[in-house]
Structure 1
Amino acid sequence: MDFFAAQDNARRSTTWLIALLVLAVAVLIGLTTLAITLAMGFSAPGQGWRFDPWLLGKIALGVMAVVLIGGLWRSWQLRRGGRAVAESLGGRLLNANVRSPLEERALNLVEEMAIAAGILVPEVYLIEDPALNAFAAGHAPEDAVIGITQGALERLDRDELQGVIAHEFSHILHGDMRLNLRLVGMLHGILLVGLIGRLLFHGGRMSRVRLSRSSSSDAGVKMMLAGGALMVLGYAGTLCANLIKAAVSRQREYLADASAVQFTRNPEGIGHALLRLAGHGHGSQLSAANAVEYSHLFFGPGVHGFSRLTRTHPPLKARIRRVLPNWQGEMAPSRFTQETVVPSPEPLPPIEMPSKTSIADKPFLAGAAVIASIGQLEQKHLDSARQHLEALPQDLVRAAHDPYAARALIYGILMGLDPESRARQRQVLTDAALPEVLAELNRLDDAITTLESHQRLPLLELTLPVLRQLSPEQAQRLDHCLTLLMLQETQPGALQWALLRILRQGMQPGKRQRWNRRLEELAGPAALLLSVLARYSVDELAAREAFTAAAAPLGMTLEYMILDASPEDLDWALQRLVALAPQEQARLLKAMVRCVEQYGVIAPEEMELLRAVSLSLHCPIPLSAGGSLPLQAGAR
């Protein structure tokens, strides 16, 4: 199943799952409301029971209000996505605060995998707990975090830790995180009903003891009955929701294990990590008080006490056998060996260099490979990401992890190459930026100006986790300075817009719109975007040919736009194209690749544009997507 079909399937599954949970809760609310009404309908002794429909309605509305308000309140608390989860578990951010080689190794693995997958680099949190565990949390890849426990850092070698991180990236890429956080909110609303019921029950019992000699003790009995009914609703509802949650979660864990093998081509990495978990003295159970609430997020079972039916994770032995079919039951990875045959990736068809024939006559091979790579990870993508990161100037890599130097690095990357523009931009920064940032910019200036074009995008992405930690005032100043830089640019182009778009998308992820529009409804924005991509060709004739070749398979009438598009025009186009349905996104991205595949080479500027658009569409394109389209070392 490709990425876009998987997204369609995930959306339908989420809708059905939430509908099933709502139905279960509604039935429980109805039964409990009836029980409370029966209890409250009894008046004083001798008067019998009286049915009161208004009482029934008020109780039903009250219980539903508690469930709804409790769920919304918890969801609001989790509005910051994965960061809220990590901080509630006592996590410490690693991206700007690495204290040991083990922490640096974990951070490097996450950065490498994120850049390889084409998603924004997540924030990485260390949970100071001896348990061996990890998790991914967030509403979308743009606000995802990876959490790793101290036990995992200390007990796992590099391959094993890479397998665990690949497992968590599967949850990010397959859309599991959003559903997981929704379940946290819904379960909180149901649990709140049970907690209120417990308070009423104990309050009624105390009232009855105090007023045992008075006829008013009947009020205490009614409170106890009402509280008992609410407790039944809360606990029964939680049980039903946990049963549904567990059934879904177990299957997603199997999928994530299989994806970790696919991503790393190393089944022993994830397999040995599971073996370490099975033999670890502290196990995977975290000591945090609210670990139960997030039990379905963890790599291994995060808490004790779940029955077989409500376990959110499959048995460890079953997971191990799925990734290591030849495993004989040994529980010590250091003594376990297995011959593993890693299948070689299928070679892509060779792409001929352009001849005198029209570009539209070439078979469309690369576009299909790029689309197939979206949401996927392979070893070649990891190798490419590792090579890119190792080739970066280490002084700039360190700068990307420092709050002041990261801002200076962003300014340097987005400043124009034209000397006149650059001089004006330095002047506005002198007036608007912080002195500490200006000092870092002066220190890094030589290294930034000698950067190769294909090194800008990975460096920019490395800064994002640190920049997300800026205070509102600092983030506002940064955005103001970036706006001033663009205003002073002599010829602001699509390339600078793309880098700025990635930066802003990474710092303040936009709200996802419903996927329901067809490309035919958005012909104008599509034509604008394809025209911009086509104009990166060598000359105007080649640009028109590239545009025609891209538009033809769409079966639409698109008009090539001669005038250069401004950043505002491009923002306008993307604000509309983000509403495309998943399969419509696939059509657009194929056309975009068609625009830039003319010579079997994707220039860095074109890749940055593709990545900027794909990030806005929530479609992660791997760094070396397509295989047959190697990244060109320099600009065209």
Structure 2
Amino acid sequence: ERRLMNVVEEMALASGIPVPSVYVLDNEQGINAFAAGRTTADAVVAVTRGALDQFTRDELQGVIGHEFSHILNGDMRLNIRLIGLLGGLLALATVGRIVWRLGSVGRKKDGMAFAVLGLAVMLIGYIGVLVGRLLQAAISRQREFLADASAVQFTRNPQGIGGALRRIAGWGNGSKVVSPNAEESSHMFFGAPLASLFASHPPLGERIRRLEGARAVPEGIPGRGEEPSAAAASAVAGLAGGLGAHASHRSSGFADGLGRLSPETVAAGGGVLAAIPQQVRDTVDTPLGASALTCALLLDQDPGLRQKQLDRLSALGGELVARETAALYPRLSSMPDSMRLPLLDLALPALRELSRTQMLKLAEALRELARADDRITPFEFCTLWLVERRVGLLSGRMRSRSKSLSVAEYRRHVAVLLSAMAWAGGASREDAVAAFCAGATPLDSSLTGIDLLPPEAAMSALGRTLDALAAAGARPRSQAWLACERTVLADRQVRVEELELLRVVGLALDLPLPPRLER
């Protein structure tokens, strides 16, 4: 299980998204895995006990890369919509059947009319289910091919995911999932969880041939196939050509590669993970340790102020959290500032295990720690925003998308966003004005004339601005991101604080920033 967590954390850090919650299906001996969730912020990854016991690290990395492709390409949201569509059609058919039966027992004309109406509704529902399942199967098969190719592109190792597919072919239980709910969610799994007339997955042999150029799936658990041929490599490259649903608006700089994995970002994610001491990584496995680490990241370097923070934390969060926080601080303070956000990423899965009451209590304690010096730094804002976002998810409050903003609202939010980015550079007012203008000048003519806000005003309004822009359409979000990029790059020097803020802006706008682009 530690190996599984290492691979998931490595992939999450490589892609720039929060580390998803990880689950093991202990009662499933078949070899399988899936990703679920509506967004990158609430994604989960699950693997069966059979997969965990049978896979090598390379095979596990290939399968997790496959699942991260689904996460980054929005396949999870599509899967949930397909489940909802089929469920609605099946409900329609069920209602029609009930109306038909009720009408059939009547002897009057009205009863016959209800029976005919019920029969018509039932037929429409069942035909809809049939068409929906065919559509679901066709879409799912193509997304599986794309995710396979993406996993190869991420790892540069066709033998990893290819070996996983071969292992399924030679395993007694195959990819079977015994849960009674497996059929409804069959298209979400790595391998077909059960045999079905409407197969949601391509045949194993075809998937392996496309990845490795193998002629056939060998009997039994098998070694690796032949080295991939040029034709197979070309096929993989062609399949992966559509990778990255966010690619249409990118131009240059940070925007290149947003929301995508690559061998370079995977290597960078592994490097970040390796730079974190094992003792610190072990700490974030529990809610208490993750809470203490998050608090320790906000402690001030000044001993007097730090002690005041710890005293306040003890009053709000309890002596145990304060003691753990104080013990962690020396280890964290010796690490470079660039490791702060990755450390917070690793803590988030354990923080999700907190109850809503505990999460609200932690958020209050973090706000007190951040305000101890009467100002909010970019990193403090990033920490508060990420943690409070967990609270929002726990309470079931999901943000709606495609909410249009008026020109006046958009002007106000862009001014807040660019002001926060300009001041994050830690420069003089003159430099901040220059950075702000560099970001605002190329914007739409209707947005000209916006002014730089004071740093305190910008930081206090930034949370509301991110929420508003996150609910906007793709074009306003893309325009806001590119304006932030120009603001950061105006002086051709990128500080850690700017990258941290840019990373959180990217998460809010659903444009995750990989670590390779953060350097």
User: What is the TM-score of this pair, normalised by structure 2?
Assistant: 0.86
Asked if 1:259 is matched to 2:150, the reply is: yes
Aligned to 1:584: 476
Aligned to 2:66: 167
Structure 1: gaps (5+ residues): 1-102, 209-214, 346-365, 631-636
- The answer to whether 1:526 aligns with 2:418 is no
Give the whole-Å Cα distance in 2 for the aligned partners of 1:190 and 1:559.
50
Match of residue 186 from structure 1: 85
| Alpha carbons 1:120, 1:506 under 8 Å: kept | no
Measured after TM superposition, the shift of residue 585 of structure 1 is 2.4
1:279 aligns with 2:178: no
Q: How many Å apart are 1:285 and its aligned residue? A: 1.8
Establish whether residue 149 from structure 1 lines up as the match of residue 48 from structure 2.
yes
Q: Against the structure 1 CA distance between its residues 367 and 417, is the aligned structure 2 distance closer, same or farther, given a 3 Å change threshold? A: farther
Whether the aligned pair in 1 keeps the contact of 2:211 and 2:228 (CA below 8 Å) is no
- What is the CA deviation profile of residues 339-358 of structure 1, one whole-angstrom value per residue up to 9, with x for unaligned ones? 57899x9xxxxxxxxxxxxx
CA distance 1:191–1:250, change in 2 (3 Å): same
**Residue 478 of structure 1 corresponds to which residue in structure 2?**
362
* CA contact 1:527–1:558 (8 Å) conserved in 2: no
Check 1:196–1:564 CA distance in 2 against 1; reply closer, same or farther (3 A cut): closer
Measure how far apart 1:561 and its partner are: 1.9
Q: After superposition, what is the alpha-carbon deviation per residue over 1:413-465, rounded to whole angstroms, capped at 9, x for unaligned?
A: 12333444323322211111133322322332321333321111011111111
Q: 1:427 aligns with which of 311, 323, 347?
A: 311
Partners of 1:523 and 1:201 in 2: how far apart? Answer: 57
Write out per-residue CA displacement over residues 496-543 of structure 1, whole angstroms, 9 at most, x where no aligned residue. Answer: 112221222245345132165588862232123222222315433333
| 1:242 maps onto 2:133 in alignment | yes
**C-alpha distance in 2, partners of 1:265/1:553?**
38
Report 1:288-327 matches (<5 A).
288-304=179-195, 306-307=196-197, 310-324=198-212, 326-327=213-214
Which residues of 2 match residues 363-512 of structure 1 at below 5 A? 368-509=252-393, 510-512=398-400
After TM superposition, give the deviation of residue 544 of structure 1 in Å: 2.8
Q: In structure 2, give the amino acid aligned to 1:235.
A: Y
Q: 1:402 to 1:593 in 2, by over 3 A?
A: same
Question: For 1:562 and 1:423, how far apart are their aligned partners in 2?
Answer: 33
Aligned counterpart, 1:338: 227
The 8 Å contact of residues 367 and 594 in structure 1, kept in 2 or not, is answered as no
SS in 2 for 1:553: coil
- Three-state SS of the structure 1 residue aligned to 2:442 is helix
Task: Indicate whether 1:328 and 2:226 are aligned.
Answer: no
Residues 426-435 or 538-547, more deviating: 538-547
* Deviation string, structure 1 residues 171-202 (Cα, Å, up to 9, x no partner): 11111111211222232233234456667888
> Is 1:117 matched up with 2:117?
no
| Contact 2:14/2:261 (8 A) holds in 1 | yes
| Matched-pair contact (CA < 8 Å) for 2:401–2:473 | no
Moved over 4 A (4+): 193-205, 215-234, 339-343, 515-521, 598-601
Measured against aligned partners, the alpha-carbon deviations of 1:314-340 in whole angstroms (never above 9, x if no partner) come to 22222222222x312142551423057
For the 8 Å contact 2:403–2:472, the answer to whether it is kept is yes
**Aligned positions of 1:128-139 closer than 5 A:** 128=26, 129-139=28-38
| Alpha-carbon distance change, 498 to 432 in structure 1, aligned in 2, over 3 angstroms | same
CA distance in structure 2 between the partners assigned to 1:126 and 1:456 by the alignment: 28
Distance 2:109 2:324 in 1: 74
Given the superposition, is the C-alpha separation of residues 318 and 617 from structure 1 closer, same or farther in structure 2, using an over 3 Å criterion? Answer: same
Question: Which whole-Å CA distance do the structure 2 matches of 1:450 and 1:248 have between them?
Answer: 49
Do the aligned partners of 1:518 and 1:581 also contact (CA within 8 Å) in 2?
no
Question: Quick one: structure 1 residues 235 and 418, their matched pair in 2 at CA, closer, same or farther if it must change by over 3 Å?
Answer: same
Q: Distance in 2 between matches of 1:229 and 1:435?
A: 67
Which amino acid is 2:376 matched to? P
Question: Mind listing any 5+ residue stretches in structure 2 that lack a counterpart?
Answer: 238-249
Aligned to 2:246: none
Q: How does 1:209-228 map to 2 (within 5 A)?
A: none
Cα pair 2:299 2:306 within 8 Å, conserved: yes
Could you tell me how far apart the structure 2 residues matched to 1:388 and 1:592 are? 25
Structure 2 residue matching 1:414: 3-state secondary structure: coil
Q: 1:538 to 1:517 in 2, by over 3 A?
A: same
Residue pair 2:12, 2:20 contacting (<8 A) in 1 also: yes
Change (3 A) 1:440 1:340: farther
What per-residue deviation string (whole Å, max 9, x for no partner) do you get for residues 234-265 of structure 1?
A: 43332121112112112111221121122222
Q: Which whole-Å CA distance do the structure 1 matches of 2:150 and 2:334 have between them?
A: 38
Aligned residue type for 1:108: N
Change over 3 Å in CA distance of 1:562–1:197 after alignment to 2 = closer
The answer for the alignment partner of 1:127 in structure 2 is 25
Aligned counterpart for 1:622 among listed residues 510, 514, 517: 514
Give the direction of change, closer, same or farther, for the CA distance of 1:273–1:519 in structure 2 (3 Å limit).
farther
Report the equivalent of 1:568.
460
Per the TM alignment, residue 105 of structure 1 is displaced from its structure 2 partner at its CA by 0.9
Q: Distance in 2 between matches of 1:613 and 1:598?
A: 18
Q: Once structures 1 and 2 are overlaid, which stretch shifts more, 464-473 or 259-268?
A: 259-268
Establish whether residue 547 from structure 1 lines up as the match of residue 431 from structure 2. no
Deviations 1:65-87 (A, max 9, x none): xxxxxxxxxxxxxxxxxxxxxxx
Quick one: percent identity of the two aligned structures? 37
Q: Tell me if 1:606 matches 2:498.
A: yes
Deviations 1:7-60 (A, max 9, x none): xxxxxxxxxxxxxxxxxxxxxxxxxxxxxxxxxxxxxxxxxxxxxxxxxxxxxx
| 8 A Cα contact 1:116 1:382, kept in partner | yes
Give how far 1:122 is off: 0.5
